[in-house]
Structure 1
Amino acid sequence: MREQVSKTRLPVHEGDLPAGMHPEPGDSAGREVWTGHSGDDEAVIIRTTVLDTRAPEEEYGAVRQLRNGRITGIDVARGLALLGMIAVHTLGSWNDLLDRPTVVWTVAAGNAAALFAVLAGVGITLSTGGRAGLARERRRRTRLHLAVRALLILLIGVGANSLIDPPVFNILPYYALLFLLAVPFLAVRKRVLFLWAGVVAVVGPLLQYYVRAAEPYERLLSPQPVDLVAQPLDVLGTWLFTGTYPVSTWLAFLLVGMAIGRMPLDRIRLQGGLLGYGTLLALLGWTLSRLLVLYLGGYEGMLYSEEPVTQQFIDRLLREGPDPDLPTSSLWWLSVAAPHTNTTFALMLSGGVAVAVFGGALLTCRAVPRLLHPLAAAGSMTLTLYLAHLAFLHFYPFEDRPWTALLIQVAAVLVIPVLWRLFFRRGPLEWVVSTLSRLTVAPIKVREPEDTGRHRS
């Protein structure tokens, strides 16, 4: 807490002192600062303890982490998320020879998509004010802009289900609904965003558990455009509760990303904190789940919850995830932290991994940004590349030649965006969404703040 001492100059206790004299221990001496109010004859002396006096540009790799004023690590993390989802969709989840999940599935299943959702939240915040927050006079226009953007992504996602009919579950409709739900949170402070993320992570899994038990609607995992009109409640229920990326829990990832976007992402201390705290959160989620399942009765509670459940079923579920859903015969099933189980512990695990990978990407870009340029280029046009990935899986027999299919896609993702960025700043679909959403809100006038003649502190 800052304390005003006086308007006179205090003696200097450190700096260039005579020989034999040493600085006095304790807090630093008061120093002159500008209070932000015009008309003061003298600077007011404030006693404060400065934790980090270095400017952002003085930190290691500060200049290298930026490209055209853009933090490269954000795009690199998006590129990693895209590659992770491509690998999970292309390669199988189970290794029959070793009788265990594949390495790719263990590392990326659920985690890559969670990273996408966290980065979506970061992007929303950075595009709506960043650390400074959303100015009151711009809220209406910004919220409409985000809503239109969500609607366009929704149309693209549902249209892809109809035109491409991808052999994997399409995340874009869920992504669009998350954007819509982000609209009320645009002006919320980061601490409140973290609080809401925690509430969603606890309440969301319970809601999904009881909705799955009741199954009050027909589940439509790949809805067509006609379904939006003919069966709107079934589509909405699937997206909210029983789909592959149910919004009632995945909103937690988005809110965490929005809170992180309010922080100084260019500071090395924060980047290290994201890596460290993300790792701790992931370990906490995994450890608590194992404790409940193996030592506090969870395994037995699941095993004897209903007759079809066997030890082999539980062991495989703990490592690979549900096929297709967690059972609803006992609340003990919510103690699992496997991929796509959407339990509180699974959200902690995947969310922690996502935050840690983001922090690691930001730090790495301080050292070797040029080596990561292909990933950054891919991360700047993920919407276009994701649609191309779905189309590729539709036309190419990837199940017969999975590794060949993966190599083709990885090569395309790392080469084509680099060439594209030589001539264009955005990917084609990114340009379409940005242009249409901007034109939609263009007629709305922004009320400029009144000039009161005073400086803001």
Structure 2
Amino acid sequence: MSRTRLTGIDAARGVALLGMMSTHIFPLYNPETGAPTLVALLFSGRASALFAVVAGIGIALLTGGADPGSARSPARNRRGIAARAGVIALIGLLLGGLETSIAIILFHYAVLFLMVLPFTNMRLPRLAVWAGAWVCLSPVLAYLMRPWINANLVPPGVDGNITWEHFLEPVPLLADVLFTGVYPTVQWMSYLLIGMVIGRLQLTSLPVQAGLVFVGIFTAVGAKFLSWYLLIDAGGFAELLKTESGQTWPIGRMLEVNLTGVDQSGSWWWLTVSAPHSGTTFDLLHTAGTAAAVVGICLLLTWARPNLLLPLSAAGAITLTLYSVHIWVMAMVQAQEPALDPGWVFWPQAAAAVLIGIAFVRLGSRGPLETIASGASRLARDGTLAENRR
């Protein structure tokens, strides 16, 4: 693996996997005080954003990396990515039928793969312009569309995870995927575009890796600071408290942890928050900044010793399989009465993910679901299941 992959990218994906697992298992609020927990403050919104940014990096690497002109024909690449998206969507639909409170990302993830297809052959300057515009404008579009959707569609989205049954109501399904779901793809497209911008850089260069760390931290901190200034010093938070959601929800606490399920309408000041899963420009910049910093750190640590972060990179190389197994396990765990201690649920799963990942790396094999997705991609792209080793 060390000779054929950027193991730092796999390690970053491993961080995202374990971070998402922790938010699925540990409480996000202290049940006694209502204060955000450490897991919430570290990983809520950031882990899933890292997962999406790394997906964009992977697409960029699949389509030529820093030199997209060196890749196969754009049409063949797009066919391969579309086929991979189809497999991921199918897995997401199968997992969606499980009884679980976890918001499964895979179907939305697959839709993002399809949405990014027109950008796969773009070079860095043009791609950067698109990414910047998307980060700034997609939250405004979502803010304008959500009230119209809520007023005109019944239901305005999907209740729970997406399953085959929801295709019988295509309009609410489309609204959920694009605007009203936990992972609204119109805004989340920003993460894939930012990831593709990162993937178009010379990621083996130490200055580029260090630059990702510094620019990522500066962006993340700057977005939080500017959001805080607008909410506190400029009076935005007081205006939010006057809205219906501000009078219904404990907004002060939720701004630190998660705004999923909160109707962000009634005031343009909602666009100034940087809360996890708020989908605003400040949220996208903060979480994308933390993702870039994590990617840069992982690349720096593995620059001289590719297997230094083997526990993370091994798990990160087969995240589709490990994530799917995690959802299946959690469906069984959440059915248990009384509820199991979160520590006894998380640490065995984390250890198993690491050990299984290392075992597959040592065997020189992909994970089972990765093998299926890769095979479908090659079949659509090259017309054969045989791997092209050129």
- Shared fold (TM-score, shorter chain, > 0.5): yes
Does 1:420 find its partner at 2:386?
Answer: no
Q: What does the per-residue CA deviation read over 1:392-415, in whole Å, with 9 as the maximum and x for residues that have no partner?
A: 100124843211101111111111
Q: Does structure 1 retain, via aligned residues, the 8 Å contact 2:107–2:162? A: no
Shift of 1:330: 0.9
Residue type matched to 1:419 in 2? A
Q: 2:193 aligns with which of 248, 255, 259?
A: 255
Q: List runs of 5+ in structure 2 lacking aligned partners.
A: 385-390
Which residue in 1 is equivalent to 2:276?
339
Residues 1:277 and 2:212 are matched in the alignment: no
Q: Which has the higher strand share?
A: 1
SS of residue in 2 equivalent to 1:286: helix
Residue 322, structure 1, aligned to residue 259, structure 2? yes
Asked whether the equivalents of residues 63 and 72 of structure 2 are also in contact (C-alpha less than 8 Å), the reply is no
Structure showing greater radius of gyration is 1
Letter in 2 for 1:430: E
Residues in 2 aligned to 1:136 and 1:128: alpha-carbon distance in whole angstroms: 5
Q: After superposition, where does 1:143-158 map in structure 2 within 5 Å? A: 143-158=78-93
AA matched with 1:251? M
- CA offsets, 1:195-240, max 9 Å, x none? 2122111221122222221213321141211322x11221121011
CA shift, 1:138, in A, is: 0.8
The 5 A counterparts of 1:11-410 are 67-134=2-69, 138-162=73-97, 164-214=98-148, 215=150, 216-217=152-153, 218=155, 219-220=157-158, 221-228=160-167, 230-306=168-244, 309-310=246-247, 313-366=250-303, 369-397=306-334, 399-410=339-350
**Conservation of the 8 A alpha-carbon contact between 1:73 and 1:365:** yes
CA contact (8 A) 1:93 1:102 kept: yes
Contact 1:120 1:254 survives alignment (8 Å)? yes
Letter in 2 for 1:124: I
The C-alpha deviation readout for 1:180-208, integer Å capped at 9, x for no partner, is 01110011121222221221112211222
Query: Which deviates more, 110-119 or 359-368?
Result: 359-368
SS in 1 for 2:73: helix
Q: Secondary structure at the match of 2:246?
A: coil
TM-score, normalised to structure 1, is: 0.78
**Per-residue Cα deviation, 1:232-258 (whole angstroms, up to 9, x for no partner):** 221121011011111111111100111
Superposed CA RMSD in Å reads: 1.9
1:342-387 deviation digits (Å, cap 9, x = unpaired): 1111111101000011101111123665441111110100000000
| Unmatched tracts of structure 1, length 5 or more | 1-65, 445-457
Which has a greater percent of helix? 2
Partner of 2:387: none
1:326, distance to aligned residue in structure 2 (A): 3.8
2:147/2:265 contact within 8 Å kept: yes
How far apart, CA to CA, are the structure 1 residues paired with 2:358 and 2:70?
A: 35
Q: CA deviation at 1:96?
A: 2.9
Greater Cα shift, 316-325 or 67-76 = 316-325
Q: Distance in 2 between matches of 1:115 and 1:320?
A: 16
- The amino acid that maps onto 2:139 is P
Which of the pair has the greater relative contact order for Cα pairs under 8 Å at 6+ separation?
Answer: 2
